Amino acid sequence: MKSEYRKVYAPERMYGFWLRQFPPVWKGPHSQFEVTAYHPWDEKERKLCIPPGKRGTAGIIRYSMRQDHVVNLRVGFDAMLNPVVQFGGSLMTDARFKARDPNAFEVQMADDWMDERRERVFIGDRNHGLNLNDGTIRILILEEVVKRQRMWVVYIAKPENGAWHKDCVCNGCLLTVFGTRYRCRLCPGFDYCSDCFQNAKRTHPGHKFDEDKPVWHAGVYCDWCREGIYGPRYKCKDCADFDLCCYCMKESKNIHPGHRFSEIDRPGGQPRETMSIREQNTVSISQLQRITNDVGASRRSDPRRASQ
């Protein structure tokens, strides 16, 4: 029996975080942006790495969000190698209070801040990351492969801008779509994240996109997955207080059998009867008509086709 050898691609792991998205820096007079990390900060790369095999603080960013507000952003790994993030709160810890030089690098990078009892510190899970919405901030930490490297990718936004499109991967960067999703009008199932959409005229020329920014239902959480609800809210008509998000609604017959739901598009909106489970990627008749019309128009305007 002849043996076969195959090369198996395994993404290299980067011990650290890619801060893909966080609230923008205020650019006015006296704006602050200070980074404490093991490696020089690169605005294009936006990575905070830690020496392999180590745990602790990967980096600290202190920056101006507004003219009168400086925020602290800190990431690292705790003793169990769970990803930890702090957004807001104080940088002062017991180690800094007791140190002769509280600004020494080793003192600033101490890991005694990784306590969820501390203000604005959130601890994730080493297998699943972090998915948080406390009504004031939206933080998502996912393990993804970026440029052949596996790493923790961090998304931070105001709750109203923090929709996670779970059923969608960007066709440009092949990463999670967070915030606004851009759907191609001509190509069903073709989507861009907000980063890749900036180059759409070059990478997907001649195609128009629809902006999909699901509205946030503040203070309402899905009673199955326990996450905040973005997009349509499905409210049970037979229970006093039972809601499902659009993703869990797809399994409502198993989750909440025999119960009727009404669909609420936005906070304060009128409930609408729903008789079936609406799939996020279903193409409606009107969408098909528009796609057909757009394709026909593009063909008529294409000089190469006109000459044939």
The average pLDDT across 108-123 equals 94
DSSP state of 2: -
Is 25 in the same domain as 148? yes
Does residue 246 lie within any of the structural domains?
yes
Q: What pLDDT is stored for residue 14 in this prediction?
A: 77
204 and 123 both lie in a single domain: no
Asked if pLDDT for residue 278 goes beyond 80, the answer is no
Q: Do 252 and 175 share a structural domain?
A: no
Domain that holds residue 61: 13-160
| Total of domains in the chain | 3
SS (H, E, C) 132-181: EECCCCEEEEEEEEECCEEEEEEEEECHHHCCEEEEEECCCCCCEEECCE
Residues 49, 180, single domain; the answer is: no
First to last CA, the chain: 57
pLDDT at residue 303 greater than cutoff 70: no
Of the pLDDT bands very low, low, confident and very high (cuts 50, 70, 90), residue 293 is low
Say whether both 124 and 192 belong to one domain.
no
Q: What is the pLDDT of residue 5?
A: 54
pLDDT in tens, 39-95: 999 999 999 998 877 789 999 999 999 999 999 999 999 999 999 999 999 999 888
pLDDT band at 147 (very low <50, low <70, confident <90, very high): confident
User: Are 235 and 156 within one domain?
Assistant: no
Say if residue 34 is in the same domain as residue 129. yes
Q: Is residue 82 in a domain?
A: yes
- Are 185 and 243 in the same domain? no
pLDDT recorded at residue 148: 85
Given a contact cutoff of 8 angstroms between Cβ atoms, the answer to whether 93 and 110 are in contact is yes
Taking CA atoms, 200 is separated from 90, 186, 219, in Å, by 40, 13, 35
Burial state string for 217-244 with b = 16 or more CB within 10 A and e = fewer than 16: beebebbbeebbbbbbbbbbeeeeebbb
Q: What's the average model confidence in pLDDT over 188-210? A: 97
Digit-coded pLDDT (tens) for 215-264: 999 999 999 999 999 999 999 999 999 999 999 999 999 999 999 999 99
Task: Give residue 285's pLDDT band: very low, low, confident or very high (50, 70, 90).
Answer: very low
pTM summary value = 0.81
State whether 181 and 199 are in the same domain: yes
